[in-house]
Amino acid sequence: MDEEELFSDNILKIEREMVEFLSTSPLLYTKDPFLNQIRAYFYTRKDLTQRELQKLTQLSTGKISQVLKTLRKWGLIEKTSVSSTGEYTYSMNSIERATKNYFNKIIDEMTQNKKPLEEVKEVLENEGKRLKNLRGYDKLSYLVPLFLQAIKINIEIMEEFKIAD
């Protein structure tokens, strides 16, 4: 498919709907809307250059570089080729692998965030009598165990999707 066909109005219209859906899907959502959008384009296109991403997203090259670096760090895309002009092509070689890598990243983050919450819970339990009159103690002593339980359940569920590299 030549570049003109890749960017035809009909294809772009359908693709924009797909990208909007993918970039707001709870399964793929992050706090960074630009990351969500660019990742969604890799789901629809597989192979993209920075120039193509700029055409599709209207984002600056700096922002695109930043997002590409994050996606590479997470193992969702990789540099696959370089043109004679020095332009890199980035690829999502496997949607399944990219999605599983993303789940693995979430599990790792949950595991890392669990330890500080466990420490807070321990302080609340051990120092409860002394801290009881402080503003916010009741909320914290109620919410911290709930968050820990939610993390535990989420890790258990997501472990089913985890794959070894």
How many domains in the chain? 2
> For 74, phi and psi rounded to 5 degrees?
-80, -10
Write the single-letter amino acid at 66: Q
Q: Are residues 7 and 75 in the same domain?
A: yes
Percent of the chain with pLDDT over 90: 27
- What integer best gives the mean pLDDT of the chain? 84
Q: What global pTM score does this model have?
A: 0.68
In this predicted model, what pLDDT tens digit does every residue of 58-95 receive, in sequence order? 999 999 999 999 999 988 999 998 888 889 999 998 88
Classify residue 164: in a domain, yes or no. no
- What residues make up the domain containing 70? 3-91
Report residue 149 CA to chain centroid gap. Answer: 22
Q: Residue 7's closest CA among 48, 37, 40?
A: 48
pLDDT at 42: 93
Q: Residue 80's closest CA among 67, 69, 66, 91?
A: 91
Give DSSP secondary structure letters for 45-63: HSEEEHHHHHHHH---HHH
